[in-house]
């Protein structure tokens, strides 16, 4: 009787009063100790209120029933197909909606409803795949940031194929934990392409120099990804090498740069992938780089025969110096490794090594610049720290004894000049 009276009162009430009444009715259905007949009356009343023309009334019901397992199933189904502002909470939280229900909803969902489904906790891979295939930009971002969604590598690649030029989509994917290496490299490639287009469009760099700079930055990123994956398991870099080969990014230049950064994993994984030999066996042969076994492995992998001496020189430099990149350390070219490899290559009178020596000369210059930047940055930081820690009365005396350090001049010496940018 109470429910019937409430429904009768709501019929002639103002919109805000009907919304409050609908919320109270939904709350009573879930939480009050109603008799079986009262529960049936409340369910009937809630069903009738689904036809209320006022959006706030239906939203009030969805807000209370949307995450409850005890809500009437037919009411939830109706709310899920309502206006997206009503359906949103139900689509995100209702445990009564199956994967098939969600997929059916996606067929007619607008952007808001797509996002609501994409943010659903524990979203299945089945539904995630549908969103990746047909969803809009906003739902791609929502799906990527939903760490509980079962988003497979294949679906991530679909997202990048459809929306990879969107920086926010790439950033959202990068925020996921344990991102597969192929996805990391795909994002690095797309980001490098976007930076290249930006630099060329704004006139900061010419097309050729822009392409070279972005390619080298992408390659260093790929090498670092391989190192991270190798730290987790030896087999992952092999899959990464296969992906790089399929994408046309696996080049002798990339492999040589990896060694010159003190990182062996990508080189060894590539030999394993190309030769079909287990990576542990490959690692042993690569450590014996001067022997016939390594030469046979290199030939079986199909790498350029004329560059064997260059790779042997780099491996020799690694052994002699003991330089390696520890997990978590920033990856950068080693001037010592480059110098030793360059010296060894210049001793070999081979026309095939001319391009390699030219590359090594350029990498040496880049490594020297990197080291100079690091040293200069340390000098600036030490100078600033000394000035901040000096006693207050020492500044005046210091001005009489020695000129103040011109920090702006030091920073200007590190930054590229206008003519360098224009070059």
Mean pLDDT, rounded, for 213-233: 72
323 falls within a domain: yes
Distance between CA 178 and CA 201 in Å, rounded? 34
380 falls within a domain: yes
Other CB atoms within a 10 A radius of the CB of residue 372 amount to: 12
Whether 70 has a pLDDT exceeding 90, the answer reads yes
Whether 41 has a pLDDT exceeding 70, the answer reads yes
413 falls within a domain: yes
145 falls within a domain: no
Coil, helix or strand at residue 250: coil
Show the CA angle centred on residue 40, arms to residues 38 and 41, nearest 5°. Answer: 65
Distance between CA 250 and CA 70 in Å, rounded? 56
Share of the chain above pLDDT 90, in %: 36
64 falls within a domain: no
Binned at pLDDT 50, 70 and 90, residue 352 comes out as: confident
If one counts the domains in the chain, the total is 1
Mean pLDDT, rounded, for 282-299: 92
137 falls within a domain: no
353 falls within a domain: yes
The residue ranges of DSSP E strands in 184-249, in sequence order, are: none
Contact 224, 188 (CB under 8 A): no
The confidence score (pLDDT) of residue 253 equals 87
Binned at pLDDT 50, 70 and 90, residue 421 comes out as: very low
21 falls within a domain: no
Domain around 381 = 180-423
């Amino acid at each position: 009787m109470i429910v019937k009276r409430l429904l009768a009162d709501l019929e002639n009430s103002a919109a805000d009063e009907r919304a409050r009444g609908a919320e109270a009715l939904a709350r009573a259905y879930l939480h009050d100790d109603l008799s079986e007949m009262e529960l049936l009356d409340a369910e009937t009343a809630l069903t009738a209120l689904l036809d209320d023309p006022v959006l706030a009334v239906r939203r009030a019901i969805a807000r209370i029933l949307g995450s409850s397992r005890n809500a009437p199933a037919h009411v939830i189904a109706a709310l899920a197909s309502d206006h997206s502002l009503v359906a949103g909470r139900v689509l995100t939280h209702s445990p009564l909606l199956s994967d098939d229900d969600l997929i059916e909803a996606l067929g007619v969902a607008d952007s808001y409803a797509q996002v609501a489904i994409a943010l659903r906790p524990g979203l299945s891979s089945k539904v995630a795949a549908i969103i990746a295939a047909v969803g809009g930009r906003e739902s791609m971002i929502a799906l990527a940031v939903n760490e509980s969604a079962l988003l497979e590598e294949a679906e991530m690649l679909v997202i990048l194929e459809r929306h990879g030029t969107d920086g926010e989509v790439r950033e959202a994917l990068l925020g996921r934990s344990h991102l597969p290496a192929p996805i990391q490299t795909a994002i690095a490639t797309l980001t490098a392409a976007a930076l290249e287009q930006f630099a060329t469009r704004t006139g900061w760099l010419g097309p050729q120099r822009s392409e070279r700079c972005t390619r080298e930055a992408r390659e260093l990123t790929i090498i670092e990804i391989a190192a991270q994956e190798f730290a987790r398991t030896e087999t992952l870099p092999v899959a990464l090498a296969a992906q790089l080969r399929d994408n046309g990014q696996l080049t002798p230049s990339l492999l040589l740069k990896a060694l010159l950064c003190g990182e062996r994993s990508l080189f060894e994984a590539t030999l394993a992938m190309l030769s079909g030999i287990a990576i542990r066996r490959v690692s042993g042969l690569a450590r014996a780089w001067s022997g016939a076994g390594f030469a046979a492995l290199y030939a079986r992998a199909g790498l350029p025969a004329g560059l064997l001496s260059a790779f042997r020189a780099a491996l020799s430099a690694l052994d002699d110096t003991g330089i390696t990149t520890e997990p978590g350390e920033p990856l950068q070219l080693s001037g010592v490794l480059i110098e030793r490899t360059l010296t060894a290559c210049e001793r070999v009178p081979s026309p095939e090594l001319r391009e390699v020596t030219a590359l090594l000369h350029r990498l040496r210059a880049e490594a020297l610049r990197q080291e100079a930047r690091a040293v200069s940055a340390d000098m600036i930081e030490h100078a600033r720290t000394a000035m901040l820690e000096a006693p207050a009365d020492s500044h005046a005396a210091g001005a009489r004894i020695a000129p103040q350090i011109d920090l702006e001049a030091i920073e200007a010496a590190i930054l590229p000049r206008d003519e360098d940018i224009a070059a």
